[in-house]
Structure 1
């Protein structure tokens, strides 16, 4: 891939996806696009670029290209203290102060859900919370820019080793093993799958298309790929989608220092809208 072609790809990625693309990422981008280049039948990255942004390519190849460019890394019960804070502090506070979860369903958003481990972890945790608070109601929205990842969320099938962080009690209740034990796969039970809605969303769009504000947003290890101005822009947009007094959970490698956003820290990498 020539420097000129890399500059063309990186300009699109930075502008349309918000992802930082310094020169040192050239090798990574070339490696990730190699398979798409071969499958498209193009001989050079210049030809591939022109094809992607042709009328035909915009319909058939742009989404697969975005899928391979974006980074997708997640786990069940990743950063477990967040889920402890959610059920021990955030939800009781929202119920006491505004009746959220009782007077109406609590609305939880897994933003940048990748292959679905986070929203299904939320579904497990919230289902357990509902068992001790029967009047509690909730809905979960899972979004990601990658259509390939959203297909995985819909199927809800995972390798057994991916389920290692899930407790045995939760495994018995919320996971089904494949009938073909040699495949070493598990699937989220239908009752849990039915609790999660999912759709594609690009954080760089002007309108996120949410009909109602959210009470809790998990947006972890997402803005780390953006530059600081883009981080501030995206976080302010998320805050506009967050109800007054609602919570945002961020990744432990992310910081809000120096960003002008209406959020106040309440726990490590947990913030509340002010």
Structure 2
């Protein structure tokens, strides 16, 4: 009897296996991986540079991997923090995969690294489907993008352990409707923490680093409802792959 297997599901299954292995490897090293996802222009790199700078100053060993379709501009920028940084060029691929990240970390990640920040490709669609072996998944959106981002991209925000608002210093000029944004976040991911930041003024950056450090210690434990539902779905349908299955990650980042 022939069985049709959706190619995308097969790709995700391979990625999930790589993610499980990478998570185990990072756990053994005492390293917490933080997956940062946003659309292009959200201010993700500027915020990450501020986070790395503070982590270095606080004596929290941190490193970063940044992914782009082309150029090493972001790696050059992040290196100003004093933290070890590597660039992944995806050659047109719109997301990172666990195998790509694991290959970049092999032989490079410094011993004793406590925090590994992974700046994903600027995109709120494809990256949401790929578990990178992270402990903490953060979805970011700037006030200049509008307050409806969470409901427009429910997988990206619904699978996040933390949501971060960026560029809050521009909120008034952008006529950002904060309560509408927060309402949308809770609609797709009930109970998820939200931190408001500005890389330019420094607002919220220390709070964000403290949250990441608590996650590294295991004291931040928000589990997205969407991730729970998807895990249950997979449990009941492991023997019947289908093209109609959700493109959410097969594994839930812990």
TM-score > 0.5, shorter chain as reference: no
Q: Normalising to structure 1: TM-score of the pair?
A: 0.35
Q: Normalising to structure 2: TM-score of the pair?
A: 0.37
In terms of Rg, which structure is larger?
1
